Every structure is written in C-alpha cells, then in structure tokens.
Chains A and B, each alone.
Chain A
Amino acid sequence: TQLLEQSPQFLSIQEGENLTVYCNSSSVFSSLQWYRQEPGEGPVLLVTVVTGGEVKKLKRLTFQFGDARKDSSLHITAAQPGDTGLYLCAGAGAGSYQLTFGKGTKLSVIP
C-alpha cells in the first residue's frame, strides 16, 4: 500500500508570509499532483509533476518533485487570503492512473 504523508496538517499564517507544505512517501510514484479544495467544492488540479527533480511554477506557487520521486513540496510566496484552502497531494504508481491521496494541509491566510 502506497501512503502519502502531508505536513503540516494545519497552517495559519499572516498575509504576505511565505510557506512550504510537504508531501512524503516511502514509495516511488510515476507522477505526483497537487490539488486545492475550497469548502463545499471538489478538489481542483493545480499541477502535475512527472520527472525526478522537476520544478514547476504557477504564479506565486512553486512545486518540486524529489529526485527519487518519493516526495514533493509546495512553496507559496507572499501568501494571500485567496490561497486559503485544503491542499492535497496525490501520487500515481507505475502503470496506474489510480491516485493515492494524502490527508491534506489546511491553510488559512489571515488578512
């Protein structure tokens, strides 16, 4: 069974601060995705990373896939209240399109 551990579980920061969220596993994933979920809605895909060491940027969000493809991080620069939400990482094993989800990091950005 592949497990994804996300940390921290909860994060409350002031507007303008930087933060990093981590997603770790002992398993190797062929791809890893990050989703954001707002209350009362379904998760929305932010990014997919597939190559070890890959870095992708989406405005103020930077995503990194570990060299061994077992871990990933999400860094947000100058957080804004609109970044508030539940951030989920999800990994796909080799030859599979099924995803294993982490339990998420609940981020609150206070104005």
Chain B
Amino acid sequence: NAGVTQTPKFRVLKTGQSMTLLCAQDMNHEYMYWYRQDPGMGLRLIHYSVGEGTTAKGEVPDGYNVSRLKKQNFLLGLESAAPSQTSVYFCASSGRYEQYFGPGTRLTVT
C-alpha cells in the first residue's frame, strides 16, 4: 500500500519548456488535489478533481493544466514553464476531509 506517489522527485527546466508531473494514489479516493508550497506562502491549491474525468480551478491555476483520465491518477502540466513556477509541488488525495499527501516534486525553472 503505497498511498500517494509522485514522479519525478526533482526536475530542472529552462524557461519555456514543458513538463508533466504525475500523481498516483491507491486508496480509491474520489478527490485529488495539486498544491504548490513556497516559503512564507504556505500551501496554495492549484487545481483539484472531485472524480474521474472532472477538474476544477483552485486558488492559483494560471500557467497550469490538469487531467484526471483515471481515478487513481492526476496529472499536472506546465505548458511553458516560467521562473515564477519554481516551487515544491504536492499532490494529495482524500475520501472526505482528511487529505493524504505525496512526498513532493521540487521544480526549478531557470
């Protein structure tokens, strides 16, 4: 039982490059979330999903896209990376209130 896993763990991108972060959960949770965590800013919600095939915008969605084609997977895409997207990205899943987090992806955009 792995819980929530994220790949990759680290990534360095040049400005303008694209990439996809993968989140997988094995707890059969309906809800999945993508957050970014920056010093002094706390955790901010980027996008979330309330079920397979559905997505919705969170607090800071600009510059990101998501897809939830399978219940267990939630993908976060950056189409044209910018230095402002340098951050640590966390995926989480929940059945109700309690959210379970992955280990994070540290992304640096130069």
Interface residues of A (CB under 8 A from B): 31, 33, 35, 40-45, 48, 50, 88, 90, 92, 97-99, 101-104
Contact = CB atoms under 8 A, between A and B. Distances in A.
Contacts of A99: 45, 97, 99
B97 A101 contact: no
| B interface: dominant SS | strand
A101 B43 contact: yes
B42 A98 contact: no
Given A42-B90, A97-B96, A102 B42 contact: yes
A97 B102 contact: no
Contacts of A45: 98-100
B73 interface: no
A1 to B, nearest CB: 9
Nearest to B58: A98
Interface string B74-104: 0000000000000000101010111111111
Contacts of A31: 97
Given A101-B42, A103-B42, A104-B42, A42 B94 contact: no
Interface string B1-18: 000100000000000000
